[in-house]
Structure 1
């Protein structure tokens, strides 16, 4: 099936690329960049059809995020993260879906999911407190998912921990200005969030286990296979796709610059076999990252579409593929950036922004390979499931 959004993105490609430096200077997406994401329908790709969404194949979503990130890393990153949230919201309580999308189905939802808050039970729901970092695109969102642990009546975390995703309107949390001052992805505006004694109705506190065990999907009535893809495949998909797209953007900017470049030795880059070898090797590594990423999610989609279930071993292997794809793409990007010369790293050259954005993207928790590779290897050795917190990223 044809990607329903990518042609619209291509029509706005020059605008998106031109806004990269603007976003970075603002420290968040410029309103024009956010409007392009709205106009093209990127954020609604995984949104349910009953609220104007495309219910798109996750492969199409990944391809679209990669293309946007190849034009501007920050815009691609926001598209990848904010664009995943409608997928989860589609399986939440119908009451909160109506609260968010009933009057305006273009409403955006932010995050983060890190469990940095505590839910204290009270009559009818919970009292919620916490402080979170890294809420990407949050200035353009009117609702938010926040990670939390369930607490007791005194607000102390229950053991063993029970993880929740808590849904709040903009009036119930504070965005901390000037809390996003980093080396890369500056245009994402990934600011801190603070919640103080917010009341959360019970229907807006979602047990994370319900997303993992399929019970949320079963209760939703959704039949599109997109929603049967595991959370730990879908959530990283937007982020890893953005990183691969950023590497593609760096390669494209490098090639544009090298076409007419003459090195200090007087040798044209087109006549330097060593640089040419590095360019080709890097291009193939970045392409391999793209292919493995898309093949991975397509294979999982095809299995659930045929009525199959994704085993823990398959989830672990899927995560390994995602993490490895991101690392492969960024290593390849480093090879071409190192051959861009001093002028390639001037602040008016987009190569350096892609380079910084890509490395910042690798710092996200989902790209830390240690636990993911450890678990994947254990499953290959028939140790399933492995113990402790290593499960959190699988």
Structure 2
């Protein structure tokens, strides 16, 4: 692919914005069916959303993380579940680009390939001739129902006999799906459980997770590409934060969209928009949404700038990315909570979007990687001179 054929950030963001009406129209169906409707998946593919982190040589865009933030934020204005799935796909897609080139040839040979994944080592990989045999299961696998491959993490035995986590790529056809996604938020993501039973994975599709976390890649052809240089966790943080920013904006749009027709029951105000309390609530929520965007963009700028410069990452910088992620999620949740609380009793009906936005952003804040309290503690430990208490840094 020629550089001139790659859409600009502005073009990709505009494509995402053009999808907002379709996503909004299908959001209720996604919640009901606990998965993205096929027209939504097809539209995301047509817009090139699944190509953002794919190498140029396979027709991808090699987009930076600032682009991911902007695109996801636009998608979340229409449906948080669609934005979340698109964001999550970008992470294992990026991880696939660290595998040997022949593995990438196999995976990216599928047009608009979709790769779901996880960072949790909840399975076991038994070494055998030519690879490993995997048994176990993984929960919260967003987008699994629409995926071609899954990036998995499993525990195996290292050369020194100690447990060692490995990352591997498995075709979805080799896995079983457990339809257990009955949740209060992000229902449309279809984040089901997947199961491996005696699944053989050839050694070319297996990498030590420790090496990946230390920025070691097995790809020769991606060695000079800027976007594949940063560490995994900062990349994952920057890739997923845009959905939170967009949900805060969605809450504001949903509230302001209903405002002209609303009163404040049991008061003398003829219209809610005339009440000073409404002005205070809207201003407070807008400020918190802006703060969420500030942290998201600071996170993306840190990742992208260091990628371009190819400079080393300090432990403090790695922890700071997690802190920015948590802060963005917290502020977005606070913005949605303020506006949902100001939306009145009628907002509890399923037909009022703000209740879904609130449930979705609450679910985002509960994610292990995005949890504000966990991320603040990690950052604070580093600032206080303590060692990190996690390998996910």
TM-score range, shorter chain: over 0.9
**Of 309, 313, 321, which aligns to 1:310?**
313
State whether residues 121 and 152 of structure 1, in contact with CA within 8 Å, keep that contact through their aligned partners in structure 2: no
Distance in 1 (alpha carbons) for counterparts of 2:205 and 2:18: 38
Moved over 3 A (4+): 1-4, 217-222
Q: Deviations along 1:64-106, whole A, 9 cap, x unmatched?
A: 011101210110110110122221111111222122122x231
1:142 is aligned to 148
When the two structures are superposed, what TM-score results if normalisation uses the length of structure 1? 0.93
Distance in 1 (alpha carbons) for counterparts of 2:219 and 2:38: 38
Q: Mark the runs of 5 or more structure 1 residues left unpaired by the alignment.
A: none
| RMSD of Structure 2 on Structure 1 (CA) | 1.9
User: Which range moves more in the overlay, 357-366 or 240-249?
Assistant: 240-249
User: Which range moves more in the overlay, 292-301 or 107-116?
Assistant: 292-301
Distance in 2 (alpha carbons) for counterparts of 1:319 and 1:195: 31
1:203 aligns to 2:204 (yes or no): yes
**Of 124, 128, 132, which aligns to 2:134?**
128
SS of the counterpart of 1:166?
A: strand
How many aligned residue pairs are there? 384
* 1:320–1:158 distance in 2 versus 1, CA, 3 Å: farther
State whether residues 45 and 56 of structure 1, in contact with CA within 8 Å, keep that contact through their aligned partners in structure 2: yes
Q: CA deviation at 1:222?
A: 3.2
SS of the counterpart of 1:263?
A: coil
SS of the counterpart of 1:281?
A: helix
State whether residues 137 and 189 of structure 1, in contact with CA within 8 Å, keep that contact through their aligned partners in structure 2: yes
* 1:84–1:11 distance in 2 versus 1, CA, 3 Å: same
1:10 aligns to 2:17 (yes or no): yes
Distance in 1 (alpha carbons) for counterparts of 2:354 and 2:331: 18
1:223 is aligned to 224
**Of 289, 294, 317, which aligns to 2:292?**
289
1:334 aligns to 2:337 (yes or no): yes
When the two structures are superposed, what TM-score results if normalisation uses the length of structure 2? 0.93
2:368 is aligned to 365
Q: CA deviation at 1:362?
A: 1.3
SS of the counterpart of 1:365?
A: coil
**Of 56, 81, 91, which aligns to 2:98?**
91
State whether residues 45 and 55 of structure 1, in contact with CA within 8 Å, keep that contact through their aligned partners in structure 2: yes
State whether residues 316 and 382 of structure 2, in contact with CA within 8 Å, keep that contact through their aligned partners in structure 1: yes
1:29 is aligned to 36
State whether residues 158 and 164 of structure 2, in contact with CA within 8 Å, keep that contact through their aligned partners in structure 1: no
2:259 is aligned to 258
Q: Mark the runs of 5 or more structure 2 residues left unpaired by the alignment.
A: 1-7
* 1:164–1:4 distance in 2 versus 1, CA, 3 Å: farther
* 1:217–1:284 distance in 2 versus 1, CA, 3 Å: farther
Distance in 2 (alpha carbons) for counterparts of 1:311 and 1:393: 14
Q: Deviations along 1:276-297, whole A, 9 cap, x unmatched?
A: 1111111111111112211222
